[in-house]
Amino acid sequence: AEHQHIRYNPLRDDWVLVSAHRVKRPWQGQLEKAPPEDVPRWDPNNPLCPGATRANGEVNPHYEGTFVFPNDFPALQPDAPKPDNSDHPLFRAAPARGVCKVMCFHPWSDLTLPLMSLTEIRAVIDAWAELVTELGVSYPWVQIFENKGAMMGCSNPHPHCQVWASSFLPNEACLEDRTQRQHLSQHGVPMLLEYAEQEARRKERLVVENADWLVVVPYWATWPYQTLLLPRHHVCRLQDLSEGERDNLASIMQRLLIKYDNLFEVSFPYSMGWHGAPTGPYLEEDCKHWQLHAHYYPPLLRSATVRKFMVGYEMLAQAQRDLTPEQAAERLRSLPEVHYKQRDK
């Protein structure tokens, strides 16, 4: 806890420098703005609200649950032309096609996932699974991700996520496919299934758990309060989850996100995303080396206004963190599971 060391990340096949003593240094750097507390529940000028007009002129329906629509400014399009052939191996390009969708979690702009009911969170999970099933017929990778908070580049406070389906396996997917395949070949058990069993037994990095899931600050975490959401049983993809596993997923997500908000009593910013076995042509292949999981990457370090910057050494050498994963897990674990906004209620 007091001396720097490096830890190996078997999922990414890289290392992180742990320098816990650095969190004691005085902070004279940038202070972030706290997220607004006065977000209107409905705003006709907010393009994600029910009944609002989006940038392309389309009017949203008056939806009452989740709402999925094509991204008006997609990074991937299904009919993009192939790039020209390269005349040198140092200048290679390849086709990139796909679709991008936006999914609103709830019709109210002033609501976030930790403040939604279990039934509402379960509806989000079901919609995620439906999208992976639908898009996974045609595309080998379907990336569900949520950027929460302006600090993580989110320009709209309305509760939503994005879903990008691509004709190629992105870098992180390729890396996790390789490392998980190697681990199964060498050890005879899926890496993250074995890891979940170890963390459930050791408990020092455990944040919350239930019958089907556990959340840990991973041994190799990079971001200060980074967490990894893992099933206790072998599951390859979101759509493979049983009814009970989906119910318990809604519960553990709510518990984790309440703790996040309670840490600094602020709507906690993060980027999160699901990683599961590839789809498309991979649906016919053996993907038992894969274990479904979700990554949460929050930037806050010391308070609601002091963040961790991944610059300098992190960009040019390797990742570095300022407190141990065990310290972060203990702090998260000790937090109440009643949201700070609802304590009086």
Name the residues annotated as catalytic.
Answer: 160
The reply to whether 55 sits in an annotated binding site is yes
The reply to whether 343 sits in an annotated binding site is no
The reply to whether 25 sits in an annotated binding site is yes
CA atoms within 13 A on the CB side of 213: 25
Which residue, chain included where needed, has tokens 């990079």?
A: 222
For the chain, the distance separating the N- and C-terminal CA atoms, rounded to the nearest angstrom, is 38
The reply to whether 275 sits in an annotated binding site is yes
Where does 134-225 show beta strands of DSSP type E?
Answer: 141-148, 160-166, 206-209, 213-216
The reply to whether 23 sits in an annotated binding site is yes
**Secondary structure percentages of the chain, helix, strand, coil, to 5:** 30, 20, 50
The reply to whether 203 sits in an annotated binding site is no
Cβ contact 199:206 at 8 Å: yes
195's CB contacts (< 8 A; 6+ apart) are 230
The reply to whether 5 sits in an annotated binding site is no
The reply to whether 185 sits in an annotated binding site is no
Please provide residue 333's backbone torsions phi and psi, each rounded to the nearest 5 degrees.
-60, -35
User: Six-digit token pair at 18?
Assistant: 């742990």
The reply to whether 270 sits in an annotated binding site is no
The reply to whether 109 sits in an annotated binding site is no
The reply to whether 176 sits in an annotated binding site is yes
The reply to whether 134 sits in an annotated binding site is no
CA distance 91 to 85: 9
The reply to whether 68 sits in an annotated binding site is no
* C-alpha angle 15-20-22 in degrees, rounded to nearest 5: 110
287's CB contacts (< 8 A; 6+ apart) are 236, 277, 278
Binding-site residues for Fe cation sit at 176, 275, 293, 295
Going by the annotation, the residues of the binding site for UDP-alpha-D-glucose are: 22-25, 55, 71-72, 147, 153-155, 162, 308-309, 313-314, 320
Q: Binding site residues, as ranges?
A: 22-25, 55, 71-72, 147, 153-155, 162, 176, 275, 293, 295, 308-309, 313-314, 320
